Structure formats: C-alpha cells, structure tokens
Amino acid sequence: MSSPSLPSRQRPQQEREQLDLFRALPGDMAPRDAQDLMAYPFFSLAKSRRTAPIDFRSGNITIRVEGTQEHGIATIWDADILIWAASQIVEAKDAGLPTSRLMRATPYEILRFIGRGTGSRDYQRLK
C-alpha cells in the first residue's frame, strides 16, 4: 500500500510502466465486508476534495494514500468503489491469480457492480 520512497506524483514514469496491470474480474461477486474497509483510512471522510496525503501507522502497518491534484483522494462518497476494488483483489488472490497496484476495468463494469445507473450523468459522477 505505501512506499518508503517518493510519493507517486514524484516517482519516475518508468516505475509506473514496470508495474503489471491487473485486469478486474468480470461477473457478479459480493463485496467483502465494508467494515474491513473502514478499519483503515483508505479514503478521506470529508465530502470535499482533499489533495493532502493520508499517512497512517499502527504497529507494523503503514498506509499512505495519495491523490492527484486534479481529482484528489477518494472520499466517503467513493467507498463503494473502493469496496469493489478490494473485492476484485481479494477474489483474484483467492483464485491464485496475480494482482498489481494498478487495476483496469471499464466504467460500465464498475457502475454495474456498485449498483449505480449507466446513464451519462452516472459516468460523469464516476469520473
């Protein structure tokens, strides 16, 4: 989750290019317990855009959450999307498939999984 080196916006482009791309699994699968997602600060509880990183340390667990200047860090409104992403990773690991820090999915797949509509307004809100 975190890197002791440079924040992602300062990391060399070649590091990003070297990361394997994880393809989200298609199909209907139940998201894992949202309580697990709430146990650690994976998103900002603010409803407005936050660009300052979240640094969390507890025992041997270290998490750094960063966002881009354009979009910021995920907020409480994005929790269902984070649950989707976590579910995808856990499902892939359970199936013995490789995972990565990067994920690929279509907006349609994400919107359908989280139970949102697929109209143009829904795509704009997802963006």
Q: Residue 107: name the closest of 124, 91, 90 by CA.
A: 124
- Tens digit of pLDDT per residue, the chain (127 long)? 444 444 444 444 555 554 455 455 555 444 454 555 567 777 888 878 889 998 988 889 888 888 888 888 888 888 888 888 888 888 888 889 888 878 888 999 889 988 899 999 999 988 7
Token pair for 49: 């855009």
Domain range annotation of the chain:
30-126
Q: Residue 51: name the closest of 29, 15, 75 by CA.
A: 75
Token pair for 74: 């995920």
